[in-house]
Structure 1
Amino acid sequence: MFSKIVDDEITLALVQPSFAKEYWAVVEQQREYLSQWLAWPQLADGEAFFLKFIKNSLHDYADGKSLTCAILYLGQVVGNISFNSINHGLKKVEIGYWLHQGYQGKGIVSRAVAALIHMAFNDLAMQKVQISAAEQNQPSRAVCERLGFTLEGIISRAENISGRVVDHAVYGLSRDHWLERQA
Structure 2
Amino acid sequence: MFIHKINDELSLKLTDVRDSKQLFELTDGSRSYLKEWLPWLDFTVKEEDTKAFIEGTLRGFADHKSLSTVILFKGKIAGTAGFNSITWPNKTAYIGYWLGKDFQGNGIMTKVAETLTEIAFNEYGLNKVEIRAAVENMKSRSIPERLGYKHEGTIREAEWLYDHYVDHAVYGMLAREWEQKKHSTKKQV
* Whole-angstrom CA distance in 2 between matches of 1:47 and 1:102: 20
Identity rate of aligned residues, in percent? Answer: 38
Could you list the runs of 4 or more consecutive aligned residues of structure 1 that deviate by over 6 angstroms after TM superposition? none
| 8 A Cα contact 1:131 1:171, kept in partner | yes
- SS of the residue 2:38 aligns to: coil
Cα shift at 1:23: 1.2
Structure 2, unaligned runs of 5 or more: 184-189
* Whole-angstrom CA distance in 1 between matches of 2:143 and 2:105: 11
C-alpha distance after superposition, 1:88-132 (max 9, x if no partner)? 100100000000112111110000111110000000000000000
C-alpha distance after superposition, 1:9-57 (max 9, x if no partner)? 1110000011110111111111111111110112211110011001110
* Whole-angstrom CA distance in 2 between matches of 1:20 and 1:40: 16
> Alignment RMSD, CA only?
0.7
- SS of the residue 2:89 aligns to: coil
* Whole-angstrom CA distance in 1 between matches of 2:119 and 2:149: 16
Give 1:39-118 correspondences, 5 Å limit: 39-118=39-118
In the alignment, structure 1 residue 141 sits paired with structure 2 residue 141: yes
Say how many residue pairs are matched.
183
In the alignment, structure 1 residue 150 sits paired with structure 2 residue 140: no
Q: What is the TM-score when the length of structure 1 is the normalising length?
A: 0.98
| 8 A Cα contact 1:96 1:131, kept in partner | yes
Given residue 98 of structure 2, which amino acid in structure 1 is its aligned partner?
A: W
Partner of 2:11: 11
C-alpha distance after superposition, 1:134-175 (max 9, x if no partner)? 000001111110001000001000001111210000000011
Partner of 2:165: 165
* Whole-angstrom CA distance in 2 between matches of 1:161 and 1:111: 27
Structure 1, unaligned runs of 5 or more: none
